[in-house]
Amino acid sequence: IQTVAILFCQSALHTGNIQLVIAATITPFTSLLGVYFFLWIQRLVGTTPKTMVMVLASLGALCPIYVLIGGIPGVPIGLKSTTELYIVAAYFGFLVSAISSYCRSTFAQMVPRGHENEFFAFYQITAAGSSWLGPLVTGIISDITLDMRNSFWFILIAIVLGIALMGTVDVEGGRDESVAFSLVERRNSMASRKSDEAEP
């Protein structure tokens, strides 16, 4: 969202570098507030990290929806001014670090003990390796429709699909399987060690 929003502001709003720097400065401050706020909410409600991911993603979907509203003729809002850019940056920052933390927390519950490095390396590769896809697709949509605002349809659809897929994740089952995997691995390791010790 952040990368596409910056490109949109530069092309559609002709936002200057100073305004973009201000928006980029706002985001980390609200990110810090968002992490502690949603942690407090989670503890207050007593919900799971998976639920928090889905809730935060749903709230994040309001960003592309807000931009798309600006495409309706006669509507004065929808990321059409620098002031709105600052507000969207603050709102996005309030969510982004919290959802990233809860995604990692959910993933960590299903990682077999002793294999954290491999699994989180894979997690990081897939997260960073797919970062080029969004700007590529949104750029193609912008070139075809001649309106970069339409690119936010792709972002909205991606978020909705992500929420739907997240709903199918069986965290409890994944945790049980990771524990079972660790037990089998430990037994195999012990059996291999005993076999090595028994050899003359």
User: What are the angstrom distances between the C-alpha of 85 and each of 6, 7, 25, 186?
Assistant: 9, 12, 12, 53
Q: Which class for 10: exposed (0-12), middle (13-18), buried (19 or more C-beta within 10 A)? A: middle
Mean pLDDT to the nearest integer, 6-31: 89
- 70-119 pLDDT, tens digit each: 999 999 999 999 899 999 999 999 999 999 999 999 999 999 988 888 89
Residue 132 or residue 42, greater confidence: 42
Locate the domains of the chain by residue range.
Answer: 2-169, 171-200
- 121-153 pLDDT, tens digit each: 888 888 776 777 888 888 899 889 988 899 999
CATH of 2-169, one of 3.30.750.24, 1.20.810.10, 2.40.50.100, 1.20.1250.20: 1.20.1250.20
**93, 28 in Cβ contact below 8 A?**
yes
Q: Is the pLDDT of residue 185 over 80?
A: yes
